[in-house]
């Protein structure tokens, strides 16, 4: 269906004006028929729709956006789309928006602030009606551009005192400490951390380590590896912990359920027991967490609610009736299952 290879004659597209000509009305009436049918007489409406069906007319939303100054586009930036944490967030987020007639312009930013800034500016050129970002840490240039854009901006999956506009998430430090409290209450006197290349994951593990040591005096082994949030990486980290860090028992706090699953796999592959020898705690409470053997003890964050709430608040702000909240802490929940 590619356009004729470089031909000059463009394939005369169907416009509202054309529909109007066929239906015997002006272009404006066609526009009205589509956006405000109640203001057009039934007979006219019928003729217009007949013309639309006949021609297969699809309105040009670009022109509409330019004229109305509303793009009905929401841009969303996440570090990675293949990471279930973020993809499920987007899923919930876009559902609410789709229902309200918005579409999603999506980009991956990796974990680099520079890439994010570039992506933000590119997105802003599309004049989205609002924007969703992951996390609260952005480059100065990004913040400036965002503020200049003068649209609602929600930062998800973290909280901050000074968001660009507003944020919905939870405290990663508090989550790390909660796991440390859990570990201590459970009687662990040695601990280790497994984490991926993700600033937020590192903040959780740092808070965990500090609290765990303060509480128990025990050490916290760290493989010091730069990893993806994958099962394999979890296995590797667990292996490194045992082979190189001399970690021979205790509780392991992993930055994602996937890595936790990998850690368990490695422990069991070596004939050791979970949770007896090594207790494992994940993060995220992914769907599969109840399906592992033993079922995974983890930290649940209600991503569904996070996404939905972000969507509805964004819509509210677009319509000028936002709550005015600057930071919404949705919290998290320790889910104790069998692995710790």
Partner DNA sequence: TTGTAAGCGTTATCAG
Partner DNA sequence: CTGATAACGCTTACAA
Binding site for DNA (CB under 7 A): 13, 15-17, 20, 25-29, 31-32, 34-35, 38-41, 43-44, 57, 59-60, 63-64, 66-70
Compose the 154-193 pattern: x for residues touching a copy of itself by CB under 8 A, - for all others. Answer: ----------xx----------------------------
CB of residue 41 vs a copy of itself: minimum separation in angstroms?
25
Examine residue 328 and tell whether it contacts a copy of itself (CB under 8 A).
Answer: no
* Interface of this chain with a copy of itself, residues 7 to 46, rule: CB under 8 A: 10-11
Distance of CA 335 to the CA centre of its chain: 22
**Does a cis peptide bond (omega within 30 degrees of 0) precede residue 287?**
no
CB of residue 188 vs a copy of itself: minimum separation in angstroms?
25
CB of residue 16 vs DNA: minimum separation in angstroms?
3
Check if the beta carbon of residue 153 is closer than 8 Å to that of residue 146: yes
Residue 297's nearest CA partner among 242, 249, 260, 247 is 260
Among 132, 194, 258, 328, binds a copy of itself (CB under 8 A): 258
CB of residue 291 vs a copy of itself: minimum separation in angstroms?
4
d(CA 176, CA 98): 34
DSSP tag of 6: T
d(CA 211, CA 217): 9
Among 28, 214, 269, 326, binds a copy of itself (CB under 8 A): 269
* Interface of this chain with a copy of itself, residues 283 to 302, rule: CB under 8 A: 287-288, 290-293
Classify 293 as helix, strand or coil. Answer: coil
User: Applying CB under 8 A, which part among 55-63, 217-225, 241-249, 273-281 lies near a copy of itself?
Assistant: 55-63
Examine residue 271 and tell whether it contacts a copy of itself (CB under 8 A).
Answer: no
Sequence-distant (≥ 6) Cβ neighbours of residue 234 within 8 angstroms: 194, 254, 256, 258, 259, 260, 261, 262, 263, 265, 266
For residue 250, the partner it binds in DNA, a copy of itself, none, with Cβ less than 5 to 8 A by kind, is none
* Interface of this chain with a copy of itself, residues 99 to 158, rule: CB under 8 A: 103-108, 121-127, 144-153
d(CA 117, CA 277): 45
CB of residue 335 vs a copy of itself: minimum separation in angstroms?
15
For residue 140, the partner it binds in a copy of itself, DNA, none, with Cβ less than 5 to 8 A by kind, is none
Nearer to DNA, 146 or 220 (CB): 146
CB of residue 116 vs a copy of itself: minimum separation in angstroms?
13
For residue 29, the partner it binds in a copy of itself, DNA, none, with Cβ less than 5 to 8 A by kind, is DNA
Sequence-distant (≥ 6) Cβ neighbours of residue 239 within 8 angstroms: 266
Tokens 């709430």 map to which residue? 309
Question: What are phi and psi for residue 320, nearest 5 degrees?
Answer: 75, 25
Buried-exposed string 56-89: b where 16+ CB fall within 10 A, e elsewhere = ebebeeeebbeeeeebbbbbbbbbbeebbbbebb
Classify 219 as helix, strand or coil. Answer: coil
Helix axes of 231-243 and 257-269: crossing angle, nearest 10 degrees: 50
d(CA 296, CA 298): 6
For residue 338, the partner it binds in DNA, a copy of itself, none, with Cβ less than 5 to 8 A by kind, is none
Nearer to a copy of itself, 151 or 221 (CB): 151
CB of residue 233 vs a copy of itself: minimum separation in angstroms?
9
What are the beta bridge partners of residue 75? 105, 131
């Amino acid at each position: 269906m590619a356009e004729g290879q470089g031909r000059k004659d463009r394939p005369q597209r169907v416009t509202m004006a054309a529909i109007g000509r066929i239906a015997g009305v002006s272009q404006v009436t066609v526009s009205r028929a589509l956006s405000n049918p109640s203001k057009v007489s039934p007979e006219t409406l019928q003729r217009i729709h007949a013309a639309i069906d006949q021609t297969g007319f699809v309105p040009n939303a670009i022109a509409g956006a330019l004229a109305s100054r509303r793009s009905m586009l929401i841009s969303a930036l996440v570090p990675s789309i293949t990471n279930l944490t973020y993809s499920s967030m987007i899923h919930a987020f876009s559902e609410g928006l789709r229902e309200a007639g918005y579409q999603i312009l999506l980009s991956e930013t990796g974990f680099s602030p520079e890439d994010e800034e570039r992506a933000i500016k590119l997105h802003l050129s599309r004049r989205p009606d609002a924007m969703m970002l992951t996390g609260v840490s952005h480059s100065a240039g990004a913040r400036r551009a965002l503020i200049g854009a003068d649209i609602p901006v929600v930062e998800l999956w973290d909280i901050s005192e000074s968001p660009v506009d507003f944020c919905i998430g939870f405290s990663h430090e508090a989550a790390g400490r909660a796991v440390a409290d859990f570990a201590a209450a459970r009687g662990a006197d040695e601990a280790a951390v497994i984490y991926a290349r993700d600033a937020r994951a590192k903040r959780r593990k740092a808070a965990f380590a500090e609290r765990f040591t303060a509480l128990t005096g025990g050490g916290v082994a760290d493989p010091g590896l730069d990893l993806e949030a994958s099962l394999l990486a979890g296995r590797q980290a667990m292996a490194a912990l045992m082979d190189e860090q001399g970690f021979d028992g205790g509780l392991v706090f992993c930055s994602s359920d996937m890595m936790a699953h990998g850690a368990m796999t490695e422990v069991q592959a070596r004939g050791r027991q979970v949770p007896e020898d090594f207790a494992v705690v994940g993060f995220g409470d992914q769907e599969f967490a109840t399906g592992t053997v033993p079922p995974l003890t983890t930290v649940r964050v209600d991503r569904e609610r996070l996404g939905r709430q972000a969507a509805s608040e964004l819509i509210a702000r677009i319509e000028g009736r936002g709550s005015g909240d600057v930071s919404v802490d949705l919290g998290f929940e320790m889910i104790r299952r069998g692995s710790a």
